Chains A and B, each alone.
Chain A
Amino acid sequence: MPPPPEGALIVTLTSADGRVTAVDARLTRPPVDRLLVGQPLATALARVPRLFTVCAAAQAAAAAGAVEAALGHSPDSETRAARARAVAIEAAENHAWYLLVAWPRHLGRPPDIAGLARLRKIARAAAASGERADLGALGEALRQGAAGPEAPWYKRGGAAPSTPGKGLGPLHPFDLRREAIGVLCGQLDAGLLPEADGGTVSTSRGRLTHTVALGADLTPTVWHIDAPTDRHFAPNGPFVQALLGQPLGPDSRDEAEALILAYDPCVSWQLYLTFLPPKAGGMRTSLPFAPLPL
């Protein structure tokens, strides 16, 4: 059976003497860049949002910004503002998906479909009007979703996001997301939405960057996409570093799964735990666990 068409994440934790001694996170991706390199610019730019429907606005804005940077062009203020609005609204919707659907299901509770539908309706209105009041209403709806008792930070004793503009200091992904939601809510309230920095935009999972190089005929010769999931689960990335050396036993499945979900990979995933005997050279016991039924 080939890997899932959208890609997959396979995580294997190896434990010896009760601690994690190795973390192998393998992320498979379809070679999307090959659909963009060598294409006429207009074709490549049109393909990006069609390839990534869930985060189409962010992908399109990052792609356009990267191409403009390669061309040495700067979009006008109206274009920059429209992209920023679309990216922020999409980020709010995706945060809401995480808060109201993904995380409750991890806890074994029913997702708040009605809440998500309400927020999406507000998001559509904000996208259509672009009015500050509608953006503020979206910020308030997201703030309410983040303040619900199912929010992941409540499991860790944290408070709901309230203070925008603080730095993203804490490293736990829950803290990062809570801070990011707080910042986004404040930006929506104020109607001051961050514009793309070249090919870099902010998404609900983190920074997304497109890097494009153009040939003499202006067709792309390089099109690299650096997505949050790639960084989070990189060989020396934060997920691996967070687990190395941590206590791990046969009962740690929930914690390991929760950490994967905290990093919110954008592909389906599987977790395997391997326990090595105390002395090297002995038998291994591999315990595969099913992916989360989100």
Chain B
Amino acid sequence: MKTADGVETYGGEAQPRLGFFTDTSVCIGCKACEVACKEWNLVPEDGLAWTGHSYDNTGELNANTWRHVAFVEQQAPDPIKRGKNDFRWLMESDVCKHCTHAGCLDVCPTGAIFRTEFGTVVIQDDVCNGCGYCITACPFGVITKRELGGDGGMHKCTLCYDRLQDGMEPACAKACPTDSIQFGPLDELVERARQRCGDLVEAGVSEARLYLADENDGIGGAGAFFLLLDEPEVYGLPPQPVVPTKNLRTIWGAAAVAAGALAVGVAAAFLGGDE
């Protein structure tokens, strides 16, 4: 397979890129994805704090929460075409985006984070040294450190790498009763999502839109993308995410030029000093 940087990897072992299409228009907020994920991946409990924020007591994605269902109560945009309700309760199951340009992978100094033969991004917890660079490199705030009672390492969704290797779909997609979480080859999912979004718009749900399905966006498109019914910010998602390492090459290039100029200057200064 070809990486985002155009490098050929995996050779004959390369697989079609796999991912998630999360269609929030059919999410019923049951949180089966959260529980199935934790069961399969042995992710620890994440605290028993009641938030009072609608039915969301999970709060966010982090080392101990790899699927998070957001609940948004709102007066619906007017006019509501999908019914006469003046009120909406939006639900969205969020997850690691498995970016095409993955900042976390770019900055990982130990090589703990790697791209799998399925095109997904996975942290090897036995290699991770807990430095935390990946935390700041993720434009979505997906990764954190497993602190108390944990291994001090970074954790996030693996897109159930172990299950994929056995030809099974990820636990969350398997548990989703309404197929809000769809799993499969990314190109097929994108096609299906465009169709679904078009159908919804045609049916009058003009606010339906795809999020992170565009390979020209700031992360080069995601391996996990979404159909949303409102602006991404409403769900707590960044509207135009950009991988922080996007300009790395030009930055380093400029730095190299500057460093070279400096070196020449210093050398000149020394040489000049001899005079």
Do A and B come together as binding partners? no
Residues in B lying within 8 Å of A, measured CB to CB:
none
Residues in A lying within 8 Å of B, measured CB to CB:
none
